[in-house]
Amino acid sequence: MKEFEGYDTMMAEYYNATPALVLPLSSWEFYGEHNWLLNNFKNDLDSLSKITKKWDFEDVYHNELVHKKSVIVITNTDLKIVFATRNIEKMSGYSPDEVIGNSPKMFQGKETDQSTSQTIREAVNRQEPFEVSIVNYKKDNSTYLCHIKGFPVLNKRGKLINYIAFEQAA
């Protein structure tokens, strides 16, 4: 053990002279979670930029995703979900893979206000933007109030190709 005394002394002097705070190993959990979130944002933004290449739509999703941390859901003209950002799982309990191919009605249940649902349907039929708050259901059947801003998306020729919704738990 005597051979390590010099090393221990040298390391103690080094750490005492170092102005940086040495973080405990458990702090890496926070870093890892933050890094995971940033990576998800980057992947979602990359996917969105590929999807929206042919859209005649302002690039507002970057602000909604990164700064407002909105969930972004894109449906086709038949109102089947074709894309959802990864943060949908935190809000609803469903992963993006579980929602793709389904209708957004999968989040509705008995406490969902039918007049609000009708407002959404009418706006979609008229191809108009809408903004509502609606009671949605998570995967575990608990409810949450969801604020939705939805927009029809047209291609550069003016033809309807998708709908995009920015959602936040209210």
DSSP code per residue over the chain: -GGGHHHHHHHHHHHHH--SPPPPTTHHHHHHHHHHHHHHHHHHHHHHHHHGGGB-S-S-HHIIIIIS--EEEEE-TT--EEEE-TTHHHHHS--HHHHTTS-GGGG--TTS-HHHHHHHHHHHHTT--EEEEEEEE-TTS-EEEEEEEEEEEEBTTS-EEEEEEEEEE-
pLDDT of residue 15: 65
Q: Is the pTM of this model over 0.75?
A: no
Task: Walk me through the domains of the chain, giving residue ranges and CATH numbers.
Answer: 19-169 (3.30.450.20)
The pLDDT tens digits of the residues spanning 33-58 come to: 656 666 766 777 777 777 777 676 65
CA-based nearest residue to 131, from 76, 82, 54, 70: 70
| Ranges in the chain, pLDDT < 50 | none
**Whole-angstrom distance, CA of residue 43 vs CA of residue 81:** 18
How many Å apart are CA 146 and CA 71, to the nearest integer? 10
Residue 83 is encoded by which pair of tokens?
């894309």
Residue 92: what residue type? S
pLDDT at 157: 84
pLDDT one-digit tens code per residue, 8-22: 777 677 666 666 555
Q: How many angstroms separate the CA atoms of 8 and 16, rounded?
A: 12
State residue 21's pLDDT score: 56
Look up tokens 């039929």; give the residue: 125
